[in-house]
Amino acid sequence: MTKGKKLAVLGAGKMGETLISGMLDGGIITRDKVVATAKHSDRLELLKEKYKIAATSNNRKAVKGADIVLLAVKPQAVKELLEEIRGELTRQQVVISVVASVTTAFIERNLNMPIPVVRAMPNTPCLLRAGMTAICKGLYAEDQHLNEAQRMFDSVGRTLILDEKHMDAVTGLSASGPAFIYIIIESLAEAGVKVGLPRTVATELAAQMTQGAARMVLETKEHPALLKDIVTTPAGCTIDGILELEEGKLRVTLIKAVVKATQRAAELLEN
Ligand SMILES: NC(=O)c1ccc[n+]([C@@H]2O[C@H](COP(=O)([O-])OP(=O)(O)OC[C@H]3O[C@@H](n4cnc5c(N)ncnc54)[C@H](OP(=O)(O)O)[C@@H]3O)[C@@H](O)[C@H]2O)c1
């Protein structure tokens, strides 16, 4: 089980902190078994104060004795980090990477050892344990490592096991996606203000409605188009709104946004 295991989070920035916070809340890890690293001392102090965990800028020290090493630095920093820690790692440890664009093969090659590697792509709602994470395993990882990673990410939301070839698409859809949805919520709230609602009311209506619609898709397992049809009374008001959305090319715009983000996800390591 993950509980009781030692976890080193290398690069505890926004995503690293999100996962630490979500996993502590989910009870999958305990404070005394977590060490986080960052570059700057103010960041380290914040992590220590807020979560009562150990924090250091020394990555080599952090991975020593850890059962699970979670990589959460930016893609551009990962090669140097792997070179830094490889002398300290053993094949009994498991490396879990949430770094976009970086493949399990890249990690294995740069660690230059047959070590279990699991690649994961979470998203920021993991903070509220409402995340969506996709995971895949590298050449030397066994099912037990994948299961362990799944338990970790299940504690902060839902987890899917996918082929590694889909990881850039996951990055473009569910990892970047919250930003797209925030823009939609913000725009709906703006619309509410335009039709006379106070902004706080409009934002709450838009956000709770978005959550409700998402739950309808997940929990009824109905096709979204069918759920849309149920709302759309003949000659009612919803169909007039839908006509505007179609004219404004909302569908095409969202498809293009995910395609672009996916393409960019594939390039992040290079530039
Ligand atoms: N943000 C998301 O929604 C999201 C979703 C899925 C995956 N990811 C992935 O998560 C990773 C981190 O993204 P982020 O948004 O969390 O970025 P971030 O906030 O910039 O976090 C990166 C962290 O790495 C630390 N760092 C940099 N160099 C380091 C080193 N050599 N040793 C130890 N720590 C080091 C930084 O420390 P300082 O703070 O001290 O500078 C910072 O805290 C990326 O690879 C990204 O692809 C992010």
CATH label of the domain that carries residue 242:
1.10.3730.10
Coil vs helix vs strand at 33: helix
- 38 close to ligand 1 (CB < 6 Angstrom): yes
pLDDT at 169: 98
Span from the CA of 89 to the centroid of ligand 1 (angstroms) = 21
Span from the CA of 90 to the centroid of ligand 1 (angstroms) = 24
The last residue of a domain, from among 140, 169, 198:
169
- Continuous segment of H or E residues that includes residue 189: helix 177-194
pLDDT at 269: 78
Q: 116 and 198: one domain? A: no
pLDDT at 271: 64
Q: 164 and 211: one domain? A: no
Q: 17 and 81: one domain? A: yes
3-state helix, strand, coil in the chain (%, to 5): 55, 15, 30
Q: Would residue 92 count as lying in a domain? A: yes
85, 69 contact by CB (below 8 A): yes
Closest Cα to atom 38 of ligand 1: 39
Number of domains in the chain: 2
Six-digit token string for 156:
């902060």
Q: Would residue 1 count as lying in a domain? A: no
**Secondary structure (DSSP) of 66-101:** -SEEEE-S-GGGHHHHHHHHTTT--TTSEEEE--TT
- 179 close to ligand 1 (CB < 6 Angstrom): no
Cα-Cα-Cα-Cα dihedral sign, residues 153, 158, 162, 168:
negative
Q: 185 and 203: one domain? A: yes
Q: Which residues of the chain have pLDDT under 50?
A: 1
- 18 close to ligand 1 (CB < 6 Angstrom): no
Coil vs helix vs strand at 58: coil
Q: 165 and 219: one domain? A: no
pLDDT at 228: 97
Q: Would residue 254 count as lying in a domain? A: yes
Where residue 162 sits, what CATH number does that domain have? 3.40.50.720
- 123 close to ligand 1 (CB < 6 Angstrom): yes
Closest Cα to atom 20 of ligand 1: 13
Q: Would residue 94 count as lying in a domain? A: yes
pLDDT at 268: 84
pLDDT at 45: 98
The last residue of a domain, from among 153, 169, 185:
169
- 31 close to ligand 1 (CB < 6 Angstrom): no
Q: 162 and 254: one domain? A: no
Q: 224 and 160: one domain? A: no
pLDDT at 212: 98
Q: Would residue 2 count as lying in a domain? A: no
pLDDT at 270: 75
Q: 78 and 141: one domain? A: yes
pTM: 0.95
Q: 21 and 114: one domain? A: yes
- 178 close to ligand 1 (CB < 6 Angstrom): no
Q: Would residue 258 count as lying in a domain? A: yes
Residue-number span of the structural domain to which 236 is assigned:
177-267
Q: 59 and 120: one domain? A: yes
The last residue of a domain, from among 128, 152, 169:
169
Q: 160 and 215: one domain? A: no
Q: 143 and 211: one domain? A: no
Span from the CA of 201 to the centroid of ligand 1 (angstroms) = 34
Q: Would residue 80 count as lying in a domain? A: yes
Q: Would residue 93 count as lying in a domain? A: yes
